[in-house]
Chains A and B, each alone.
Chain A
Amino acid sequence: MLESKEVTKTFGAKTAVDHISLKLEKGHVYAMLGPNGSGKTTWMKLAAGLLKPTYGMVCFNGEQVSIESRKHVAYMSTEPYFYTWMTVKDVGKYYQDFFEDFSYDRYLKLLKQMELTEKLKTKALSSGMMAKLKIAVTMARDAQAYMLDEPFNGIDLLARDEIRACILSYATEDKLLLLSSHLVEEMEAIADRAVFISEGRLVECVDLEEMRTRQGVSMADRYRQIYGHTEG
């Protein structure tokens, strides 16, 4: 469904993503893991079409990411990105105007679940409320693939449970979910596959169940094995 072919992205002398080749298939929830600056966010932005690769390409359903793929891939950036003049209602209307798969009714339901009201101004939202709004508006789309960059950032434990349940309700056979997070234990309860990235390079993409049964290693253990020396 989502394929990265030798994708490289440099910013001046710095290589943020270095020849990453990777295939993500529908029907799975992927955890994208790696320390800060490992290239997770850059790769997601490349897959969302916000960044242009220096080399290689990202394909969605066999075609290079483009306007067409943006119709089917819902991307949530880790940074707040709504226009400051918008209210929560404006954000929903904006998505409704541009994404055919967006359901305003579902958006209202998610807002209620997240305890947000339509009249709130986005510039007045706390970081936790902003994180909830980003989740609500992204998950109100009926996309084929969801890419959520740090969805649990700034969210308290109780709200995290709600968000996790919301995300999992989308984990069906015809959808692909890709989440990045520093909260490895949190991700272990959601994901069935993990993509480990280090210094812009792909370390491995593994099936978590297989790893647990064959090697007796959990995702958190594997994370420690890979990054332990760098995070030390």
Chain B
Amino acid sequence: MFKLMKYEFRKTWITKLILLGITAAAEAAFLFNLYTDKEDGLAASIGILTVLAIFGVLFIGLQSVITLHRDMNTKQGYMLFMTPNSCYKVLGAKVLENGLSILVTGGFFFALGALDITLLFAKQGQLNQIWQMIQDFIKTINEEIPLTADALAAFTFSLLADWISIVVTAYLADVISAALLNGKSFNGVISFVIFLALNWAFGWLLGIATRSIPNVVTSMLVQGGISLLIAAVMYVLTAQIMEKKLSV
């Protein structure tokens, strides 16, 4: 499994390196603007870092779906499927490598954000203004989240877990398209509709499961846990279809 994960990482490490490089440049711009008191530049670099954090995590998941699609639909897939590894292992390596990449990237941006906010406080000392800015940003995503470290960590975890479950559901839709609907008309449309329907159903399920939990932090942790459970179920189902029906 570790060897498969190693090669999954090798397939995507260049884009991850590019993301890291752009983030380093944006962080350098943030620090430069902070210590030279250039407010316009500071706001722009904060904006860029925020966009990088969101789209970086989203892109890593999307790239993983594209890689699976390529492995199933091009001759390069022989490299993977002619090795003596079951589809459970092959897909498991993809899920684990991508899940870890999403969690590490999300954790990295969370830590970087915390560090930058601390530096901002230390340098400018305008607590109220900065605090308000962060609160406004968080409220645009979810109004009920209190601005405490544990709530933000739980919120980050639930978002990342939710994204992992969406990515694994996309794997399932792609595998259905390649293994069960291959050669049939509208197979891309049908698998996309399956993907949307499953995500809608999971969203509904999460809503019901967390509705009665009064504590926001607990609710987000439960939501994250259920999302990971959904990802696990989707993984087993996807691997089973691959094992029985997939021709590459």
- Chain A: residues with CB nearer than 8 A to chain B? 11-12, 45, 48-52, 67-68, 70-71, 75, 77, 79-85, 94, 97-99
Contact = CB atoms under 8 A, between A and B. Distances in A.
A67 B85 contact: yes
A77 B10 CA distance: 23
**Chain B interface size range:** 20 to 34
Contact of A82 (B76, B81, B246, B248): B76
Contacts of A51: 247-248
Interface in B64-92: 75-79, 81-86
B3 A97 contact: yes
Contact of B248 (A50, A70, A75, A94): A50
B247 to A, nearest CB: 4
Contact of B82 (A11, A12, A49, A68): A49
22 contacts: A48-B82, A50-B82, A52-B244, A52-B245, A52-B246, A67-B84, A67-B86, A70-B84, A71-B84, A75-B82, A77-B75, A77-B78, A81-B75, A82-B79, A84-B76, A85-B10, A85-B11, A85-B14, A94-B7, A98-B3, A98-B83, A98-B85
Nearest to A97: B3
Given A52-B247, A71-B84, 15 more contacts: A45-B247, A49-B81, A50-B248, A52-B245, A67-B84, A67-B85, A80-B75, A81-B77, A81-B78, A81-B79, A85-B10, A85-B11, A98-B84, A98-B85, A99-B83
B183 interface: yes
Ordered nearest first, which 9 A-B pairs have the shortest CB separation?
A98-B83, A81-B78, A70-B84, A51-B247, A81-B75, A12-B183, A79-B75, A71-B84, A97-B3
Given A52-B245, A52-B246, A81-B78, A99 B84 contact: yes
Contacts of B85: 67, 98
A119 B172 CA distance: 38
Contacts of A99: 83-84
Contacts of B248: 50-51
Interface in B1-53: 3, 6-7, 10-11, 14
B8 to A, nearest CB: 11
A70 B89 CA distance: 15
A83 B75 CA distance: 9
B239 to A, nearest CB: 13
Contacts of A45: 247
B165 to A, nearest CB: 28
A123 B81 CA distance: 21
A101 to B, nearest CB: 10
A12 B181 CA distance: 10
A68 B75 contact: no
Contacts of B3: 97-98
Contacts of B14: 85
A97 B7 CA distance: 10
Contacts of B246: 52
A83 B86 contact: no
A50 B84 contact: no
Contact of B11 (A71, A77, A79, A83): A83
Interface in B167-197: 183
A48 B79 CA distance: 12
A29 B75 CA distance: 26
Nearest to B246: A52
Nearest to B86: A67
A82 B80 CA distance: 10
A217 to B, nearest CB: 36
Contacts of A80: 75
